[in-house]
Amino acid sequence: MSQTWSIFSAVTLLLVQLCIGEKSCAIWSSAGRLVQRGTSFKMYCTFHCRCRGSMYSDHPPTLQSHKELNSTTIYFNVVNITKNRTYSCQCNCHPALDPCGLDISTGYLPDPPKNLSCIYKVLNNNSGDVLCTWNRGRDTFLQNSTVLWVRTVSGNHTSEPAQHTVSRDLLSMSFPVLRSVPLIHVWVQARNQLGSAVSSTINYTLSDIATPPTPALGQPKCSSRQCLIQVEQCVRTQHLEIQHKADAEQTWTSYSVQRVQMRTVQDWSISSLEPYTLYHFRARSKFGTGLWSQWSTNLSSWTQEEAPAKELDVWYAEDASDLQFLRVYWKEANISIARGKIIEYTVRVFSPDSGLDNVTNVGSDARNCSVRIRANCEVTVWARNSKGLSPPARIPARHTTAKSSQDVRVTAGDRNVTISWRTPGTAPPPASYVVEWYPEGQKMEELGWVRLGRRDDHAVITGMKPFECYEGAVYVFYEESSVSRTVFSGVSTLESAPKVGPSVQESVEGRTVTLTWTELTRSKRGGCITNYTIYLENSSGHQRRYSAAPSDTVYIIPDLSPGVFSLWMTASTAEGEGPAGLKLKFLIQQESPQSTFIACGVVFLVMSLLVCLFQNSAVKQKFKVFFHCLMFDVVPDPANSKWAKECTQEKVLM
């Protein structure tokens, strides 16, 4: 009975211990629960039962090498702790008890706040807000609190320090100050669980850090060269700066007014602007001392238009199919020359000899116009905007052709082409140059040009499409209205072998085959075609090659032997030969003697039939009627004439 009672008591005690969560040990730190990072200290564990205890750290628990202080207590030396850690101890007690543990928090003392700086934002004539900012320093890894302290000085009176609690994690604080206060003292105090730190005290004369409210701008009112801007301020200032810049520019141009008592609302004129340009404006102000205000919001406005400033850059191309037509080209003027939105272009053809005076107006999107010309006529082009016409750009439709004496060289790169020339010393001095270029065969559709001065000796052409073949010319204009022209061709920035071969067709006549093909499309050429290669292969596999010029579209191969032939073509550029086109087959037939004999027999039979028919008098008579012109005239025979016979008879009678 006593034994049963002992077991019951032990079980009851164990259950009670489990219910109340009794610990097997007690754990503590020699430095407490909160320590500064980099600190060294000891962790202790005292066990409540006789057992072999152990100490662990972190999660999952890592066994630590502890030391024994006495029979119930162990300890562990923590050296230079750098982060938060959890330590625990446990042992095998009977009955089993919970292990014990302790969380160690780490951090730093707050640094003294640095770089304390304040500005005084004036709101009106009576008051304003002082805004102070500072740097906190290094992270403490703890929860910090910050307080901004302020003393105000008015005359001989200095106020008690006023405390302004800063919201968590903020590094700035503002507080109101009357404009009658001339001086303030400010400092910042930072605190956490390890201690506190205080910044240096900064003394401010408010007039030195005062900044006025941002000016408000009214919508600018602009003419072609000037804009009038209304500036509104809620306090009077002594300095005003207005800046402007064109939309395409990066830098601002300043217009400043200083040492003037500004009114709260005032108009200012900004001049020396360009016509038909979008300008952006902003402003800021300042008291006699202190800081500039923030820039105002940008406002934008267009200046008004003026008539275009310069003549258009024009050029022309003659229509090869009809020399009475001329296509005139012009470049779109930039905004500084156009000085407005171009409404239309006017093209006039005038000939004093014939009295021709034809005017054509085309839309603002047009860049060329075809006109009919006469001898000794002049073509003039104008651009028009809402304010008027540009100066005239003239093209004499016919020039006196001068002998070409230019040594033109072409240097092609991956991104541009340089056209250079050299004028012999014996040539007359040039007045100007024009270099034109266009894809092969596309002069009327894709003409480009650049106009150069008399001292220029080269032109760098950009924007040429890669894998495209270009040609063009250099024109030299002389003072006496004569012009010389030197052409160039086969120009490409990037090239590749052609992508396809020509599609060829054949026509066989006897032993001769005539080949025809069309040019490859521009997208398939890969650049400038240097030659075509024709491959001819007979039934025995023997192959012959023929080369054709890049301008050819017809090739004749004579004197072929009878048989079956295969034929195909390729095209080549400077980068290599392209793939073969479609292969075709044709037959050269053998000329047999039997066919010649049959033809001769047929001819003989036809001639015999005609001879037989001619013996018939009716047929003969009809033949004389229808083919009288083919018969020989009858020659008279005097000896057998009627007159001769009658004369002979009379002589006999006598």
pLDDT digit string, tens, across residues 217-238: 999 999 999 999 999 998 989 9
| CATH number of the domain that residue 407 is part of | 2.60.40.10
372 with 448, same domain: the answer is no
Residue 376 gets the label, from left (phi > 0), alpha (psi -120 to 50) or beta, of: left
Side-by-side strand order, sheet with 504-509: 504-509, 512-517, 554-557
Residue 612 in tokens: 């037989």
In a domain, 551, yes or no: yes
DSSP string, 610-637: HHHHHTSHHHHHHHHHHTGGGSPPPPP-
Say if 179 falls within a structural domain. yes
Residue 600 lies in a domain: no
Per the structure, the count of domains in the chain is 6
pLDDT tier, 6 (very low <50, low <70, confident <90, very high otherwise): very low
Q: What is the bridge-based pairing of β-strands 253-257 and 299-302? A: unpaired
Same domain, 426 and 487: yes
Residue 468 near residue 399 (C-beta atoms within 8 A): no
**Contact call for residues 584 and 513 (beta carbons, < 8 A):** no
Average pLDDT, integer, range 73-91:
93
Asked if residues 535 and 570 have their Cβ atoms less than 8 Å apart, the reply is yes
Q: From residue 546, how far is each of 491, 534, 540, 554, 595 by CA, in Å? A: 25, 5, 18, 12, 33
pLDDT of 408 higher than 50: yes
Q: Which residue has the tokens 């407005």?
A: 340
Distances (CA, A) of 90 to 14, 23, 41, 52: 18, 9, 20, 9
Report how far apart, in Å, the C-alpha atoms of 110 and of each of 36, 188, 267 are. Answer: 11, 12, 53
Residues 98 and 124 in one domain: no
Query: Does residue 435 lie in a domain region?
Result: yes
Is the pLDDT at 91 greater than 90? The verdict is no
Compute the distance between CA of residue 382 and CA of residue 387 in angstroms, rounded to an integer: 13
Query: What is the distance between the alpha carbons of residues 25 and 97, in angstroms, rounded to a whole number?
Result: 9
Residue 604 in any domain: the answer is: no
Q: Is residue 497, in this structure, part of any structural domain at all?
A: no
Query: Smallest Cα–Cα separation from 512: which of 589, 397, 598?
Result: 589
Does residue 634 form part of some domain? no
Among positive and negative, which fits the CA dihedral 257, 261, 262, 268? negative
Choose the weakest-confidence range: 40-54, 325-339, 606-620: 606-620
Q: Report pLDDT for 286.
A: 93
Residue 158: how many CA atoms within 13 Å on its side-chain side?
Answer: 7
pLDDT for residue 294: 96
Q: Write the single-letter amino acid at 159.
A: S
Round the average pLDDT of the chain to a whole number and report it: 87
Residue found by looking up tokens 């004579």 in the block: 558
Q: Where is 516: in which H helix or E strand?
A: strand 512-517
pLDDT tens-digit series, residues 447-458: 999 999 989 999
State the residue range of the domain holding 294: 212-302
Mean pLDDT of the region 573-587:
94
Of residues 402 and 285, more confidently modeled: 285
**What per-residue confidence (pLDDT) applies to 653?**
42
CA distance 238 to 292: 11
Q: Does pLDDT of 18 surpass 70?
A: no
Q: What residues form DSSP beta bridges with 107?
A: 36
Q: Please give the residue that has the higher pLDDT: either 94 or 422.
A: 422
| pLDDT at residue number 321 | 74
- Are 217 and 206 within one domain? no
Strand partners, 483: 401, 477
- The whole-angstrom separation of Cα 284 and Cα 325 is 61
Residues in the chain: 654
In what helix (H) or strand (E) does residue 302 lie, and over which residues does it extend? strand 299-302
Task: Say if residue 344's pLDDT is above 50.
Answer: yes
Question: How high is the pLDDT of residue 327?
Answer: 92
pLDDT band at 59; cut points 50, 70, 90: confident
Q: What is the pTM of this model?
A: 0.66
Point out the domain boundary residue: 588, 616, 632. 588
Band of pLDDT at residue 4, cut at 50, 70 and 90: very low
Q: Does one domain contain both 407 and 484?
A: yes
Mean pLDDT of 614-626: 62
Task: Please indicate, yes or no, whether residues 160 and 224 belong to a single structural domain of this protein.
Answer: no
In the prediction, which pLDDT does 77 show?
94
**Domain assignment of residue 598, yes or no:** no
Percentage of the residues of the chain whose pLDDT score is greater than 70:
86
